[in-house]
Structure 1
């Protein structure tokens, strides 16, 4: 199976969601791709390759955090996850809501954020996410449920704070 730019982009986005540092994410993704190229393991389809890439990226990130914890302090912006070839053609309001939602995602506990990223942003199945993190399907579903609940609660609070009625009364 040929590894392409899209595989690198997926590995990069996942690495960036882990470390919140574009330079380190670049290094992690490139190292994961190099390992995929040099491995003797045969991948039967793109999903198997991506699962393997995500697992290697996660392990590389864990190794890097053992060496230094300085990489996880920078907040991650939504624009960091969008590569240069993609553009948002949305209205300003939609872009603002996406940015606020993404900021709330970054406040989630690490495991919930990781599971949510792979399931929602990368489109991985529950079973595949469970394999990557070496957890049960139930644990993945629990983390997803908790993450979604926290996002619903935080976005509901944000909507209440910015509602037109509230602004009219102020």
Structure 2
């Protein structure tokens, strides 16, 4: 793949990378920094990417590793980052916007309360549309672990919203299978 085509493919991934970064850190500015760092590393390491493999999985893994490096550094320095819980929602009428806002806020609050490993899997599979196998590759975990974490995340989210798992806003039918 030519350098310009590689860069074009990387640019096409930016919205997905940003959503993933935001789901990891919860801070928009930090998410943008993570995406920028991941893109810089991907461009520098372009020769290590194997054509025919998924560029998105490779880049998501770079971003995740950068985030983990940042957490390790933060822990060693004893610094914490506040989580920005501001969500922008649009709608057609006030009542619908208010209901959507309450529902979305409840879902986002439920997702935020999940353990980090479940939150990452839920984001990758239900929001980013990755298959179980792709999420397992990015996270470096067995596919069964991804499946069980996703199941636990869905169950916890449904319970937190006062629903059964089949009523959850992130049903099993909404995701890509292995």
1:105 aligns with 2:111: yes
1:9 aligned partner: 15
Change beyond 3 A, Cα 1:144–1:78: farther
TM-aligned CA deviation for residue 72 of structure 1: 4.4
Alpha-carbon contact 1:11-1:29 (below 8 Å) kept: yes
TM-score calculated relative to the size of structure 1: 0.78
Structure 2 residue ranges without an equivalent (≥5): 1-5, 164-178
Q: Alignment partner of 2:83: what SS?
A: coil
TM-score calculated relative to the size of structure 2: 0.75
TM-aligned CA deviation for residue 96 of structure 1: 2.0
Structure 1 residue ranges without an equivalent (≥5): 80-86, 158-170
2:73 aligned partner: 67
TM-aligned CA deviation for residue 11 of structure 1: 1.1
Change beyond 3 A, Cα 1:139–1:7: same
Higher relative contact order, structure no. (Cα contacts within 8 Å, ≥ 6 residues apart): 1
Alpha-carbon contact 2:10-2:39 (below 8 Å) kept: no
Q: Give me the CA root mean square deviation.
A: 2.0
Q: 2:100 aligns with which of 94, 100, 115?
A: 94
Matched residues, number: 148
CA–CA distance in structure 1, aligned partners of residues 42 and 90 of structure 2: 31
1:56 aligns with 2:62: yes
1:44 aligned partner: 52
Deviations 1:18-63 (A, max 9, x none): 1112221111101111222222124436xx1111111111100011
Deviations 1:91-121 (A, max 9, x none): 2212321221111100000000000000000
Q: Alignment partner of 2:161: what SS?
A: helix
Any residues of structure 2 matched to 1:75-154 within 5 Å, and which? Answer: 75-79=84-88, 88-89=90-91, 91-92=96-97, 93-154=99-160
1:164 aligned partner: none
